[in-house]
Structure 1
Amino acid sequence: MSEQPTVIRPYGDMTGDGMVQVSFTLPVPHDKRAEGAALQLAGKMGLSPALLVHAKAMGPSHTFFVVYGSVTHLVDLSQVQVVERDFPLLSAKEVNAAIKKKLRRPLVVVGACIGTDAHTVGIDAILNIKGFAGEKGLEYYSEIHVVNLGAQVLVPYLVERAREEKADAVLVSQVVTQRDAHIHNVTQMSAAFREAYPAGKVPLLIAGGPRFEEGSADALGVDRIFGRGTTPGEVASYLVHALTGPARTERTSA
């Protein structure tokens, strides 16, 4: 097998042709001028030549476009940074055994969608017994007690319930990302927990959603970020790793 190159270009019709497809919406009615504006934008984005392959009116004053063209930009794989999983993946049996042996009581997890976010698909996929991607959710684990608060939960209420339930971990899902709502909500949540709990007693704080950057946990003041495609088994394995292993360092940044 040949060695993979470290510098690459996008692939469209043939290797190295740099072809990409981009979609966007412009706040103009659909007409020839709008299509020209879309091609102008594509050119400024570095697509040359650019081909307009789709244009559709989105109401009276907006138009959706898809453009196709070649870029000259290169990608250096050696400069790509990823967050590697730093804990082993465990089976449900192994998770239950580790909790029973080391905690000697059920591990308590409180989950919610906070703020105005009403999208519970993500949090339900992790918590509900039906699970996701062929894996049972945390409710399936005999040694994990799950409290799913659902959608549009206010941060003060989340803190209150976490204290009442003596939560070991708090899982927050954020799907709505307009104007960085997910970042503001999670930052507010982490600050509220640090204010409400004594130092070193804050539950494990975990945030998940499709638009979070996996390396942003420190900046948001949480212990872990999980992105798109995360399975219940990954979350359960992390909980065991974080709560039954060496003492964690509490986040202090906001």
Structure 2
Amino acid sequence: MSSEAMSAYHGHGEPAAGKRIVRPYGDTTGDGMVQLSFTLPVPHDKRAEGAALQLAAKMGLEPAMVVHAKAMGPSFTFFVVYGSVHHLVDLSAVDVVEREYPLLSAKEVNGAIKSRLRRPLVVVGACIGTDAHTVGIDAILNIKGFAGEKGLEYYSEIRVVNLGAQVLVPDLVERARAERADAVLVSQVVTQRDAHLHNTTEMSAAFREAYPTGKRPLLVAGGPRFDERAAEKLGVDRVFGKGTTPGEVASYLVHALLPPTNPLRERKSA
């Protein structure tokens, strides 16, 4: 490690010059050890393992070792390599999307919709394009839910229209208009050739064209390969990544769609 890095890194991630520096570790704190996997389009033999080590070195793992290599058919090999990196991570410079709204219980969500919207909140959900994987949209919408939380169908003040898989964008727009949707939730699991990005961009463009300015429903995209920071680039209002629960989505809908509470009115009603 360079002297500059050593001066910034103290082994336990303590602040230094306004930064909080950490390194990966495997055996001892700060040893930089990481493990990664990849596939090379070569048959499994000694030369293939040498190619994997060469790639690892070019990625900054040095020294590195191949801890697992397995043929994936006659022309491909899957590798797991283990080695040390010299890179540092400045936690103070990490850019993430922080949740800016409180997590609400189902009772609180229903109460907010009933008192502030005064009608059921309409949510239309779908997997668009050729994506046939409904596990994501079902986890959020279906009553069975996900991670111990009931889906949006469980909420008495939310009316859910789940269109399922392989929904064409024009059909999604038409159904959203027919249902007078407040929000449209799109799940994308298939990501080959960035299909999730292309589909989401197409969907957001179609809604902008179909609705007057300021009148379109809230657009939410979700899936395990989305970057939560990419909402503006994709033309949607929010992006949710892997591990998102129905309660998080319901709380966001309340935050984004309902008029703010009036503290004076609440005090009078109390």
State the TM-score, normalizing by the size of structure 2: 0.89
Alignment match, 1:251: none
Measured against aligned partners, the alpha-carbon deviations of 1:6-52 in whole angstroms (never above 9, x if no partner) come to 11110101111100001000001111111110111011111111111
Quick one: which amino acid aligns to residue 100 of structure 1? K
Which of 230, 234, 239 lines up with 2:253 in the alignment?
Answer: 239
Amino acid at match of 1:139: E
Partner of 2:237: 223
Which of these residues, 62, 78, 88, is aligned with residue 48 of structure 1? 62
Aligned position for 2:185: 171
How many aligned residue pairs are there? 245
Report if aligned partners of 2:63, 2:83 keep a CA contact under 8 Å in 1: yes
Of 99, 107, 111, 1:97 maps to: 111
Corresponding residue for residue 145 of structure 1:
159
In structure 2, what is the Cα distance between the partners aligned to 1:3 and 1:158? 48
* C-alpha RMSD of matched pairs (Å): 1.1
| Number of the residue aligned with 2:91 | 77
Percent of aligned pairs sharing the same letter: 84
**Which runs of 5 or more residues in structure 2 are unaligned?**
1-11, 261-270
2:43 and 2:76 in contact (8 A); partners too: yes
Q: Does 1:198 align with 2:212?
A: yes
Residue pair 2:67, 2:82 contacting (<8 A) in 1 also: yes
Indicate conservation of the 8 Å contact 2:68/2:81, yes or no. yes
- 1:215 Cα deviation after fit: 1.1
Tell me the SS of whatever aligns to 1:216.
Answer: helix
CA–CA separation in structure 2 for the residues paired with 1:229 and 1:52 = 31
Match of 1:213 among 204, 227, 241: 227
Mapped to 2, the partners of 1:55 and 1:116 lie a distance apart of: 33
4+ runs deviating over 2 angstroms: 2-5
Which structure has the larger Rg over C-alpha atoms? 2
The structural deviation recorded for 1:88 is 1.2
Secondary structure in 2 matching 1:72? coil
Matched, 1:160 2:174: yes
Q: TM-score, normalised by structure 1?
A: 0.94
